[in-house]
């Protein structure tokens, strides 16, 4: 594990400065494993717990955040590009970037889209447009 900590330090090095100290990270991990409650299994719970103690374990805090932002697989990125390819077909090549981004997000996040209340969204949109028309006339 110490070798991995030192490798991470080398990877995060910018010139002579590194974001973490590999030796300190190794020692912090050893202590943090003992402090971490055994019932915490989810990464979000560990991150919240670590957030409260980040001053005690600064290297673990930085390393954990970095590890959670790096995708384990590139499958999600590949799915995004695959969806983008389906959306931006030859016939739709003239659409604006803003519309393309919106359609891509809807396609990628379809689980969230299924739970949307479209009637409420349309009512909110109509209300905001009605207010804008009134303000423009004044």
Q: How far apart are CA 47 and CA 65, in angstroms?
A: 8
pLDDT of residue 109: 82
- Phi/psi for 39 (5° steps) reads -80, -10
d(Cα 101, Cα 104) in Å, to the nearest integer?
Answer: 5
Q: What is the pTM of this model?
A: 0.49
34 Cα distance to chain centroid: 28
91 vs 97, higher pLDDT: 97
Q: Are 11 and 22 in contact (CB under 8 A)?
A: no
For the chain, the distance separating the N- and C-terminal CA atoms, rounded to the nearest angstrom, is 68
For 22-69, write each residue's pLDDT tens digit: 888 899 889 888 888 888 878 888 888 888 887 888 888 888 888 887
The answer to whether residues 49 and 80 touch, using CB atoms and an 8 Å cutoff, is no
């Amino acid at each position: 594990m110490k070798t991995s900590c030192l490798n991470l330090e080398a990877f995060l090095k910018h010139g002579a400065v590194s974001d973490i100290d590999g030796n300190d990270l190794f020692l912090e991990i050893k202590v943090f494993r003992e402090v971490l409650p055994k019932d915490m299994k989810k990464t979000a719970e560990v991150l919240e717990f670590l957030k409260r103690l980040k001053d005690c374990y600064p290297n673990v805090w930085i390393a954990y955040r970095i590890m959670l932002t790096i995708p384990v697989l590139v499958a999600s990125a590949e799915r995004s590009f695959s969806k983008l390819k389906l959306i931006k077909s030859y016939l739709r090549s003239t659409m604006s970037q803003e519309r393309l981004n919106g359609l891509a997000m809807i396609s990628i996040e379809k689980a969230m889209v299924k739970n949307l209340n479209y009637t409420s969204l349309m009512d909110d949109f109509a209300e905001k447009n009605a207010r804008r028309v009134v303000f423009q006339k004044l």
